[in-house]
Amino acid sequence: MPDNANLTAALSRLVDPYTGRDYVSAKCVRNLSNINGAVSVDIVLGYPAASRHAAVAAEVEAALAAEPGVDSVRVGVTSQVVAHTAQRGVPLLAGIRNIIAVASGKGGVGKSTTAANLALALAAEGARVGLLDADIYGPSLPTMLGVAGRQPVSPDNKHIEPIENHGIKTMSIGFLIDTEQPMVWRGPMVTQALTQLLHDTLWGELDYLLIDLPPGTGDIQLTLSQKVPVTGAVIVTTPQDIALLDARKGLKMFEKVGVPILGIVENMSIHVCSNCGHAEPIFGEGGARRMCADYGTELLGQLPLDLSIRVNADGGTPSVVAEPDGSIAAAYLEIARRVAAGIAVKAQDFSGKFPKIVISNT
């Protein structure tokens, strides 16, 4: 009969491709037991990956079954998302474990489409997800998520309920104004509106809140980095040199304020002709990869210039929900797992577990 040391050694040889760590050192192994050759173990991943649970279970089962003396193996695989540290001195928001900023230095690179599909992909993998539209001047997420025209309700005239669709919660200034009304506001009014949308929305319990930022490095980005506990940032760009110039500025801004960069998403990396199948890098190639090499960050994924991405977003059903088994959805799901795994290896935040000490006169 094998002892637990041999079984643990077998598990330590299995490396999670998303975290780069083995299951033992990553503390994913729980409840390992061996009763007369009947082995049982639970694997708890630190990021949502419902689509991978079966594959992980099969991998672990095969590794343990290969050990001498093992007669049967039971493997349970689950995901458990915990809170992780944000900028120094910025406390976490109640009920929200992790906040992800989705940013770009330049407009028109597909940032909002990426944010929407990334949020939907995380939800598809089993996470509780919220999405905040921080583009006060040009809110587009209500249309992308198929909830344009809906108005949030307030249960107490102080807070507002987020709008839910496709399994995620969302809030946008677009729910509160007429679609044709321009937001002629100065910077302080815009940042105040963002703060209210964030804090006055009844998000409930969320594993991830994604914030779709406007382009650039202005007031909203500065307010976010100083007052909102951001776990990490995702930079969206295209391969085009001009887009990369602005993306670099956005990346450097987050570095200066102590927000970790989770990686870069390259949109419009290649165009495949729908008629003849010819592939051509219209906006250049290799730009995001070079940028990742320059700044020591990860290329999370590359998405093609594909008509369906635009059509699905305009129709209110982004690719992840419109074509869940398609190649585009698979690319977004892969990016989502990489983002979540990047957060999982960060230091945890235990501030919510510390008891509050109250001193009173008795």
Average pLDDT, the chain: 89
Are both 4-79 and 96-344 of the same fold? Answer: no
Which CATH topology does 96-344 take?
Rossmann fold (3.40.50)
Residue 309 — pLDDT band, cuts 50, 70, 90?
very high
pTM: 0.92
Tell me if 107 is assigned to a ligand binding site. yes
Give the chain's end-to-end CA distance (angstroms, integer).
61
Please tell me the total number of residues recorded for the chain in this structure: 362
Pairing of strands 271-272, 72-79: unpaired
**Res 1: pLDDT:** 52
State yes or no: 29 annotated in a binding site: no
Predicted local confidence at residue 357, as pLDDT? 47
pLDDT-based confidence at residue 135 (cuts at 50, 70, 90): confident
110 annotated as belonging to a binding site for a ligand: yes
Under CATH, which architecture does the 4-79 domain have?
Answer: 2-Layer Sandwich (3.30)
Does 112 carry a binding-site annotation? yes
Give residue 47's pLDDT. Answer: 97
pLDDT of residue 61: 97
CB 254 within 8 A of CB 96: no
- Helix (H/G/I), strand (E/B), else coil: 266: strand
In this predicted model, what pLDDT tens digit does every residue of 71-123 receive, in sequence order?
A: 999 999 999 999 998 888 788 899 999 999 999 877 889 999 999 999 999 99
Most confident range (mean pLDDT) of 8-12, 108-112, 212-216 is 8-12
Q: Residue 20 half-sphere exposure, CB side, CA atoms within 13 Å?
A: 6
108 in a labelled binding site: yes
Domain range annotation of the chain: 4-79, 96-344
Residue 106 marked as a ligand binder? yes
